[in-house]
């Protein structure tokens, strides 16, 4: 790993979370050498069997892979949380509503501050019902950050990457990240199996869990709308725009939960659908917003 400090990188969070995960018996990379000052790490090589690649080449293994990935999350959620990790719950509303500035405003061409604040009054109490800081969440837990290690046993068969931004949050967050993947279509039957396996594994009330999972998914997908639009508008990476329709589909499905009806009404009225014209607008404005403020 090459993470130069002059580029704003810091390897210390990666080292801390890797040690935490390995102490739990999970497959985070071993650190063979570390130069924290200059941002260099020599890591264990997990190979090339990323989940999305294995599932594409060997679809008969998909259920086994996703079961193992859920078992990792059950194990983490059942363990002592990462010491000193920040609380994600306090950030959830602001991150979700950033989609107004980065997704809606560039497409619609006008300020949406008042609409954003109206959505805040509805979203904030919903987020509050999730509680804060319950378990360690890795926050980017999906098929391009997981590797299949079939020679290992149990949850250690899942190689973990890109976990340096771990925080404390709701137990449903990472399993939703896994099942509502922004980069690949997870079969509906696999999604349902994962959610049931996770809920059963932690003895959660399934009705409460499904409601909270829908809320986590809505928050996460609003945030991803913002991120993918920003990747084009600020970072000049327009290919991320092509992923937005899948994210939108996830968002619409979870907004159908009856407890989210008021939020659904606002979001569907305010945010433009990712039509061909919407996506083209985001691409045409590629790199035109120079600041992140």
Question: What pLDDT score was predicted for residue 7?
Answer: 67
**Domain formed by 46-284, architecture:** Alpha-Beta Complex (3.90)
Say if residue 5's pLDDT is above 90. Answer: no
pLDDT digits (tens, 9 = 90+) for 132-151: 568 999 999 999 999 999 99
Do 209 and 258 contact (CB within 8 A), yes or no? Answer: no
Could you tell me where in the chain the CATH 3.30.200.20 domains are found? 1-45
Identify the residue with better confidence: 266 or 5: 266
Question: What pLDDT score was predicted for residue 38?
Answer: 79
pLDDT digits (tens, 9 = 90+) for 243-281: 999 999 999 999 999 999 999 999 999 999 999 999 999
Strand positions, DSSP E, 105-236: 135-137, 146-148, 158-160, 167-169
Question: What pLDDT score was predicted for residue 133?
Answer: 60
- Residue 64 — very low, low, confident or very high, per pLDDT cuts 50/70/90? very high
Could you tell me where in the chain the CATH 3.90.1200.10 domains are found? 46-284
What is the CATH code for 1-45?
3.30.200.20
**Residue 110 corresponds to which tokens in the numbers above?**
């006008």
Say if residue 155's pLDDT is above 90. Answer: yes
pLDDT digits (tens, 9 = 90+) for 184-234: 999 999 999 999 999 999 999 999 999 999 999 999 999 999 999 999 999
Question: What pLDDT score was predicted for residue 132?
Answer: 59
What share of the chain has pLDDT > 90, as a percent?
85
Question: What pLDDT score was predicted for residue 90?
Answer: 82
pLDDT digits (tens, 9 = 90+) for 21-43: 999 999 999 999 988 777 888 99
pLDDT digits (tens, 9 = 90+) for 99-119: 999 999 999 999 999 999 999
Dihedrals phi, psi of 193, to nearest 5 degrees: -65, -45
Q: Burial, 135: exposed, middle or buried (Cβ in 10 Å; 0-12, 13-18, 19+)?
A: buried
Question: What pLDDT score was predicted for residue 228?
Answer: 97
Segment 188-195 long-range contacts (CB within 8 Å, at least 24 positions apart): 190/62, 190/63, 190/66, 193/63, 193/66, 193/67, 194/66, 194/67, 194/69, 194/70
Say if residue 293's pLDDT is above 70. Answer: no
The residue to which tokens 């990712």 are assigned: 274
3-state secondary structure of 176: helix
Say if residue 53's pLDDT is above 90. Answer: yes
Say if residue 1's pLDDT is above 80. Answer: no
- Residue 291 — very low, low, confident or very high, per pLDDT cuts 50/70/90? confident
Say if residue 69's pLDDT is above 80. Answer: yes
- Residue 292 — very low, low, confident or very high, per pLDDT cuts 50/70/90? confident
d(CA 235, CA 290): 8
């Amino acid at each position: 790993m090459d993470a130069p400090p002059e580029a704003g990188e810091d390897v210390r969070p990666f080292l801390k979370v890797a040690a935490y995960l390995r102490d739990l018996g999970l497959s985070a990379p071993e650190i063979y050498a570390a130069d924290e000052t200059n941002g260099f790490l020599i890591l264990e090589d997990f190979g090339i069997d990323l989940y999305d690649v294995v599932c594409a080449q060997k679809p008969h293994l998909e259920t086994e892979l996703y079961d193992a990935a859920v078992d990792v999350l059950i194990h983490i959620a059942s363990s002592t949380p990462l010491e000193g990790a920040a609380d994600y719950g306090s950030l959830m509303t602001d991150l979700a509503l950033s989609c107004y500035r980065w997704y809606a405003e560039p497409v619609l061409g006008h300020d949406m501050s008042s609409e954003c604040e109206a959505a805040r009054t509805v979203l904030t109490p919903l987020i509050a019902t999730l509680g804060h800081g319950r378990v360690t969440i890795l926050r980017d837990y999906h098929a391009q950050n997981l590797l299949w290690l079939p020679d290992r046993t149990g949850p250690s068969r899942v190689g973990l990457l890109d976990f340096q931004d771990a925080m404390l949050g709701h137990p449903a967050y990472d399993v939703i990240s896994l099942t509502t993947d922004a980069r690949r279509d997870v079969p509906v039957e696999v999604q349902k199996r994962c959610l049931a396996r996770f809920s059963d594994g932690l003895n959660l009330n399934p009705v409460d869990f499904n409601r909270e999972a829908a809320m986590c998914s809505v928050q996460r997908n609003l945030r991803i709308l913002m991120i993918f639009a920003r990747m084009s508008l600020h970072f000049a990476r327009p290919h991320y725009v092509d992923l937005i329709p899948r994210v939108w589909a996830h968002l619409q499905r979870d907004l159908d939960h009856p407890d989210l009806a008021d939020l659904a009404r606002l979001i569907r009225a305010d945010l433009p659908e990712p039509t061909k014209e919407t996506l083209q607008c985001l691409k045409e404005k590629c790199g035109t917003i120079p600041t992140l403020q």
